[in-house]
Copies of this chain bind each other. A is one copy, B any other.
Amino acid sequence: MSILVVGSIALDTVETPHGRREDLLGGSATHFSYAASLFGPVRLVGVVGEDFPSAHLEALAGRGVDTSGVTVVPGGRSFRWSGSYSPDMNSRETRSVELNVFGTFRPLIPRRFADSRFVFLANGAPATQACVLDQVGEGAFTVCDTMDLWIATARADLLALLGRVDGVVVNDGEARALTGEGNTTRAASRILEMGPRYVVIKKGEHGCLLVGREGLSLLPAYPVEVVRDPTGAGDSFAGALMGALARDGAVDFAAMRRALVDATVVASFNVEAFGVEGLRDLRGPEMEARRARFLEMVSLR
């Protein structure tokens, strides 16, 4: 079934202990789209400037991503982010952010995308995320991400959004900031009370936690031996989660659990290379082989 993602499309300059890369294809919606497209067709809505290399959009289209919802602003400059990671990769410093055309982005969902059954609101201002919900059908399975900035500066909008989405995917620090709970499990339960049916907490190398009214599920991360660039790991995780759900059609707790395995596996490829390079060259058989190895690692029988 059809997946719609709305979020940032960026040019990233990243420095990690494994090197420095300039003007990499980046952005939350980009990482999401590469990951989700491993499972089926994706509809992408975002904005770029005239400086954006058309080859990037062509490559996405080549992966089954409908990029006709990407607005190219004449004379505009694309969203740019620059950052560096600590030697242990556990923290990162943002060196510069130029919102450029993304700063005034008001997503207009093409009418032909309004029937999307799976909708992901990548990190953005909660009011902007909410305006996407206004433009899609009632029956869609909707999931949002957020970040500390919005938790601190747009809390009321964010709480209103959480009351409208079916799921939320955040990292453990965001879950703690949103709830004031130091304990990740309690934080997840608190977010569940804010409205969503499913709360997924990403813990990076430590795996993830799913909480729903049906229960709680835990999954370790795939043990990546060489992390080259963690940028976009959370977005590719969400992309594979939504992709696997859309492929399977129905969403329930068991389907969420299964999809989190795909999310974990795809995110592991994301972090093994810079930008989207780890996803760009990934094909089904390689993904399936790692998925099988991972299932063997986490299986108790």
Binding site for B on A (CB under 8 A): 87-88, 182-186, 203, 206-207, 209, 215-220, 223-227, 257-258, 261, 295-300
Majority-rule SS of A interface residues: mixed
Q: Are B186 and A225 in contact (CB under 8 A)?
A: yes
Report Cα–Cα, A295/B203, bound state, in Å.
20
Q: Are B220 and A300 in contact (CB under 8 A)?
A: no
**A85 shortest CB reach to chain B, Å:** 13
What chain B residues lie within 8 Å of A257 (beta carbons)? Answer: 300
What chain B residues lie within 8 Å of A298 (beta carbons)? Answer: 217-219, 298, 300
Closest Cβ neighbor of A221 among chain B residues: B218
Given A206-B206, A207-B207, A220-B207, are A225 and B183 neighbors across the interface (CB < 8 Å)?
yes
Q: Are A223 and B218 in contact (CB under 8 A)?
A: yes
- Contact of A300 (CB < 8 Å), options: B88, B183, B258: B258
**A241 shortest CB reach to chain B, Å:** 15
What chain B residues lie within 8 Å of A261 (beta carbons)? Answer: 300
**What is the count of identical protomers in the complex?**
2
What chain B residues lie within 8 Å of A207 (beta carbons)? Answer: 206-207, 218, 220
- Contact of A296 (CB < 8 Å), options: B88, B215, B219: B215
With most chain B CB atoms within 10 A of its CB, the pick from A185, A207, A209, A300 is: A300
Q: Are B219 and A223 in contact (CB under 8 A)?
A: no
Q: Are B185 and A223 in contact (CB under 8 A)?
A: yes
Report Cα–Cα, A65/B223, bound state, in Å.
38
Q: Are B299 and A300 in contact (CB under 8 A)?
A: yes
Report Cα–Cα, A218/B297, bound state, in Å.
6
- Contact of A88 (CB < 8 Å), options: B87, B182, B297: B182
What chain B residues lie within 8 Å of A203 (beta carbons)? Answer: 206
Report Cα–Cα, A286/B191, bound state, in Å.
29
What chain B residues lie within 8 Å of A206 (beta carbons)? Answer: 203, 206-207
Closest Cβ neighbor of A206 among chain B residues: B206
- Contact of A297 (CB < 8 Å), options: B182, B184, B215, B296: B215
**A37 shortest CB reach to chain B, Å:** 24
Which A-B residue pairs are the 8 nearest by beta carbons?
A: A218-B220, A185-B223, A206-B206, A218-B297, A218-B298, A186-B225, A216-B297, A185-B225
**A96 shortest CB reach to chain B, Å:** 28
Closest Cβ neighbor of A182 among chain B residues: B88
Closest Cβ neighbor of A186 among chain B residues: B225
**A115 shortest CB reach to chain B, Å:** 32
